[in-house]
Amino acid sequence: MPEQATSGAGAPTASGDVLRAPLVLEYPFRRTTGPVIGAYFTGLREGRFVGIEDESGNVICPPVEYDPVSGGSLTKLVPVGSEGEVTLWTWNSRLSEGQPFDHPFAWAFIKLDGADTPVFHAVDAAHDQMSVGMRVRARFADERRGEMTDLVCFEPIS
């Protein structure tokens, strides 16, 4: 039995006729990222972006391993800019654990210069700064480890 279930704070409690007990669900896998996703995270660690060219010549960023139409393997990594344009956005004031900020921010699709598909990330801006077509640049973490959180967010280019 988990230690938590026998200690005071996490013990089952009875509310009316309903028995309640704490439950922590985890899938603690570790994965290797491979030559395509790994290249993207290596780029983030170095403070830059890479995309991948698909069979029709479009640059997909973040890069994917397979062509979106044919399913063929993709290998041609290409550099992509660290600035770009907001194509879709919504405002997030329902903050929850694990999200990039503990203050309201925008979720957005951002098409980086040189890419044909957008990345999904947070834009740290005031609500009235947000618009489709606005220019933003990447803000990287000071200490980077080759993972998604190396990219803190995007911010408006004023």
Partner 1 sequence: MRDVAIISTAQSKHVRAASEVNEVELIQPVIQEAIERSGIGRHDFDFTCSGSSDYLAGQPFSFVMTLDAVAAWPPIAESHVEMDGAWALYEAWVKIQTGQADTALVYSYGKSSPGDLTRVLSRMMDSYYEAPLWPTSIDFAALQARAAIAAGVTSETEMAEIANRSRTSAGSNPLAQLTSSPSVEALLADEYLAEPLRKHDCPPITDGGVAVVLAADDKAREYCSRPAWIRGIDHRMDGHHITMRDLSVAPSIAIAAEKAGVGAGGFDVAELHACFTHQEPIIKAALGLGSDVDVNPSGGALSANPMMAAGLIRLAEVANRIHSGSVTRGVAHATGGHALQHNLVAVLEGEG
Nearest-approach distance from CB 19 to partner 1, in angstroms: 10
User: Strand, coil or helix: what is 150?
Assistant: helix
Output 60 or 80, the one with its CB closest to partner 1: 60
Task: Report CA torsion sign: 100, 101, 102, 107.
Answer: negative
Task: Please count the CA atoms within 13 angstroms of the CA of 79 that sit on its side-chain side.
Answer: 6
Output 8 or 133, the one with its CB closest to partner 1: 133
Nearest-approach distance from CB 93 to partner 1, in angstroms: 8
Nearest-approach distance from CB 89 to partner 1, in angstroms: 7
The 10 Å CB-count burial string (b at 16+, else e) for 67-102 is beeeeeebeebeebebbbbbeebeebeeeeeeebee
- What span, in angstroms and rounded, lies between the C-alpha atoms of 142 and 83? 18
Output 88 or 157, the one with its CB closest to partner 1: 88
Output 60 or 134, the one with its CB closest to partner 1: 60
Nearest-approach distance from CB 82 to partner 1, in angstroms: 16
Assigned token pair, 38: 């790994």
Interface residues with partner 1 (CB under 8 A) are 17-18, 23, 25, 31, 33, 37, 40-41, 60, 62, 64, 68, 88-92, 94, 96-100, 107, 109, 117-122, 132, 147-149
